[in-house]
Amino acid sequence: MNPATMTVVLTGASGGIGTALAHVLVQAGARVVLVGRRAAPLTALAAELSGARAARVVALAADVTRADDRQQLAQVATEHGVNVLINNAGTPCFGALDTQDDALIARVLLTNLVAPMQLTRALLPQLRVRPQARVLNVGSALGRLGLPGYAIYGASKFGLRGFSEALRRELAGSPVRVQYLGPRATHTAFNDAQVDAYHRATGAQVDEPAVVARAALALLTSHAAERFIGFPEALAVRVNGLAPAWLDGAFGKHAAAVRTATSPAAACAAGASSI
């Protein structure tokens, strides 16, 4: 799909990956509807992006977990002829499972899994009538590789990947192609000091948001179903998909890093962002 033909609804647009994605998309010639919960950063981003491309950028403050806001988004999508939905908004969560509570589990699953499913359903009639359309779900390598400390977050991303796979097959033969992007750890405000310490303790490689944004654009312009970013993560997710138990013994240092974390629930307290 040619970026110049894309009119994109981008959720989580004011987060680290979202902002980088907005820049990459606009620079490639796409029109973008920036979506996020807070109006001020969206307006600032729209002003930064606009310049000579003012007609290519729209800012819309909306919470994708709210039915009324999703309905408003569907109306905007129809008005602007949207043919690409990027489900990028998300809520972080790191820490041992027994430090979390029921309300947190519900919030993470609602934002990271249920809301993208509901928003996709709301926009699907509009996407179906376009000559070409895309749904890109920005997930995580943790959507195919379970790590200690990420039981809740990983479950939400495993679900998002499963949704992407099933819907892709359901819509085969239609103009709508469903894709899944699995970044590894990314350097954004999504991560607090405890997560950064976990990355150092486990030797995790951390990408800049621009790396993820470029990978997202490359995926959108391709016919690929999914893409995982970085080595060895891209290999590990494949091995894990074939024989998950083979890797069970490989994450001892990850489990130890979770046990030494203090106040792990703090990493689950941030607002909507993206990874």
**Residue-level length of the chain:** 275
Q: Is 153 a residue of the active site?
A: yes
Nearest alpha-carbon partner for 37 in 90, 75, 81:
90
Which of 150, 153, 180, 198 is an active site residue?
153
Q: How far is CA 255 from CA 149, 190, 230, in A?
A: 7, 21, 22
What angle do helix axes 115-128 and 151-170 make, rounded to 10 degrees? 20
* 177-182-186-192 Cα dihedral, nearest 10 degrees: 110
> Strand 84-87 and strand 57-61: pairing?
unpaired
**CB-count exposure of residue 55 (10 Å: 0-12, 13-18, 19+):** exposed
Q: Among all residues, which ones are annotated catalytic?
A: 153
